[in-house]
Amino acid sequence: MAKKRHADSIVLRTYAFGHSSGYTIPPHKHDWSQLICAAAGVMTVHTTAGSWVVPPERGVWVPGGVTHSIEMSGQVSVRTLYIAPGYAQRRLPKTCTVINISPLMRELVLHAVTMKTLDCAVVAQARLIGVLVDQIQAMPEIPLDLAMPLDARARRAAELMRANPGTSSLDRIAREAGASKRTLERKFSAETGMGLGRWRQQLRLLHALRLLAQGEPVTSVALESGYQSTSAFISVFKRVLGTTPFRYRKK
């Protein structure tokens, strides 16, 4: 006889959905923490603290209670795990972060999605929950985030660069933001962990990922993202993601 399920012993829920390019899920939050995985396409998760870009074979961890929106680039297929408040809390990330999704983790997520919910009172399901939590904890973090500065002038500069990632003049950005370049450099370093130029480089890479997901040619992506040459773009892309843009698009 099957063991009766109790709502308070269901600690993991799943959800699968797909959206077309350009669709945005408006700001919202959940009590349950979630791991959002991109099976296809690219997602960008935005919070007031920053943005996290999620290409295929990556996932973004969003702790419970964090207000976030999700922007789709390309035809996006999403698989999400929701973990109950307080469950394994000391073992799971405390902030939003992008993690690598290994082949094993991918198969575990797909299997969990077919089950809809997992009950820690059911022995076999409790084991699967434990392995999933272990994998989330063990997966390496991937530097695909972009923290937003708090200072009003630095934030204005960040918004100007986000509106036009290919802009080449940091001096002009500084003037329009109402601060010197040196001041912005100091504020960005203190509040985002990146200097002004490094922050813009990261912005360009994340913008390039979204363009690639929309089917743009690699050369066009490089130029529109502000890289001086396709080779410079390929070099940065490979250093961060471990593959070239051409191979990345074939996944």
Q: Provide the 8-state DSSP code for 49.
A: T
Percent of the chain with pLDDT over 90: 54
Tally of residues, the chain: 251
Specify the residue for token string 């997966």.
139
In whole angstroms, what is the distance from residue 197 CA to residue 216 CA?
25
Give tens-digit pLDDT for 209-234.
889 888 889 999 998 898 888 998 99
Quickly state the pLDDT bin for 10 (edges 50, 70, 90).
very high
* Residue range 107-129: mean pLDDT, rounded: 94
Same domain, 243 and 124: no
* Residue range 160-188: mean pLDDT, rounded: 90
Domain boundary among 93, 116, 138: 138
pLDDT of residue 6: 56
- One-letter amino acid at 46 equals H
Percent of the chain with pLDDT over 70: 96
Copy the structure tokens of residue 232.
């410079």
Who has greater pLDDT, 199 or 246?
199
With a cut of 70, say whether residue 251 has pLDDT above it: no
| Helix (H/G/I), strand (E/B), else coil: 43 | strand
Residue 228 lies in a domain: yes
Q: Provide the CATH number for the domain around residue 21.
A: 2.60.120.280
Quickly state the pLDDT bin for 239 (edges 50, 70, 90).
confident
Reported pTM: 0.78
Q: Which domain holds residue 221?
A: 148-249
Same domain, 125 and 229: no
Helix, strand counts (H, E) of the chain: 9, 9
Domain boundary among 79, 114, 138: 138
Same domain, 160 and 121: no
With a cut of 60, say whether residue 3 has pLDDT above it: no
